[in-house]
Amino acid sequence: MGKYDEFAKKVPMKERKGNLRFCAEMDGSFLNWESMSLRYGLVDETGVIPEETDRLHVHDYDEVILFLSQDAGNQLELGGELEVTLGTEGVRHRIDLPSCISIPAGTPHFSPLVRRVDRPFLYLAVAFNKEFKAEITDENAVQGEGPWIQFRAPYFDKVNVLNFSIRDPYHYASDIPEDSGGVGTLVDEHVAGFPMILGWQTVGKPHNMGPRRDDGLRHPHAHEDFDEMLAFFSLDPDNMTDLHGELSFSLGAEGEEEPVLCTESTVFPMRKGYFHLPLVFTKVDKPMIFMTLSRSRA
């Protein structure tokens, strides 16, 4: 067992939970920290996404929910349609493109309702709390009966279509020419409305990543003022555990780095002050996802 293997948390993917073909839940007890919790899955059927409750509810923490394409070759189309209902008025948002839903603490909402599935797509919920929990605000409220959102009306800015760019959306310097072979998007405070940075990119070929020293070599770094998670997810709709590739993620201060090898979907919760990188994708047989997530400001 390596010195830093305990930092590598294999994603506990389980089969079939409601309309999710695969689903993994990772809270503070699993991640061994209190910064955030994740729920990640593959949507392949219509119906309400299984969350804490299907009633109108609130959280006492900020939350973001992303719906993303499972097709690495087409990240611009979701592959289905769903509704998200926000506010006591039950204002409905129709979503049929990869999108981010921002839910500030105290905002009443229903769990997302999937209306159509043309092909499976991805669901990612991030709670900035050590666990997912909910308080029901109205037992009698009915989902799907409220008004449709109007331009610049309340809650209009809480649902944002994601913009994608080729190569890395999050990079360390313009002198790093290596290409991930995919596309990426970025959700930050300007999108979410509260402090956070989430980078999401497809990885399609081997490449190296990490900041460079003056001599051109890559070296580790640490964040002194925020925790950060790095995650690697499979895009295989039949096996969301196997990355179909291999990566080497180094942990430890410069001169003490030790690589952790990954071939399965894995998350690395990095507490502030922990040195990490470089990251080397040594083998990519099928596209995978690389995600960075923190509670920091843009």
Same domain for 205 and 107: no
Same domain for 157 and 61: yes
Same domain for 19 and 149: yes
Q: What is the pLDDT of residue 175?
A: 56
Final residue of a domain: which of 115, 140, 161?
A: 161
pLDDT below 50 — which residues of the chain? Answer: 169-170, 172
Q: What is the pLDDT of residue 297?
A: 81
SS (H, E, C) 202-256: EECCCEEECCECCCCCECCECCCCCCEEEEEEECCCCCCCEEEEEEEEEECCCCC
Q: Is residue 121 within 8 Å of 53, Cβ to Cβ?
A: no
In a domain, 271, yes or no: yes
Q: Which amino acid, 203?
A: V
Same domain for 186 and 94: no
CATH code of residue 285: 2.60.120.10
Q: How far apart are alpha carbons 180 and 72 in whole angstroms?
A: 12
The secondary structure of residue 109, as a DSSP letter, is B
* Residues 96-128 pLDDT 10s: 999 999 999 999 999 999 999 999 999 999 999
Q: What is the pLDDT of residue 5?
A: 81
Same domain for 140 and 197: no
- Residue span of the structural domain in which 135 resides: 13-161
* Residues 56-78 pLDDT 10s: 999 999 999 999 999 999 999 99
Q: Is residue 276 within 8 Å of 251, Cβ to Cβ?
A: yes
In our burial notation (b when 16+ CB lie closer than 10 A, e otherwise), range 263-279 reads: ebbbbbbbeeebbbbbb
In a domain, 239, yes or no: yes
Q: What is the pLDDT of residue 180?
A: 84
In a domain, 3, yes or no: no
Q: How far is CA 271 from the centre of its chain?
A: 18
Which string of DSSP letters, residue by residue, matches 53-91? -SSEEE-SS-EEEEEEES-TT-TT--SEEEEEEETTTTE
Q: Specify the number of domains making up the chain.
A: 2
SS3 269: strand
Same domain for 80 and 201: no
* Residue tagged 């790093």 (tokens): 176
Final residue of a domain: which of 139, 161, 183?
A: 161
User: Which parts of 59-180 are beta strand (E)?
Assistant: 63-69, 80-86, 91-95, 99-103, 113-117, 121-127, 135-138, 159-161, 165-166
CA distances from 93 to 25, 102, 157, 173, 231 (A): 25, 12, 11, 38, 29
In a domain, 5, yes or no: no
pTM of the model: 0.94
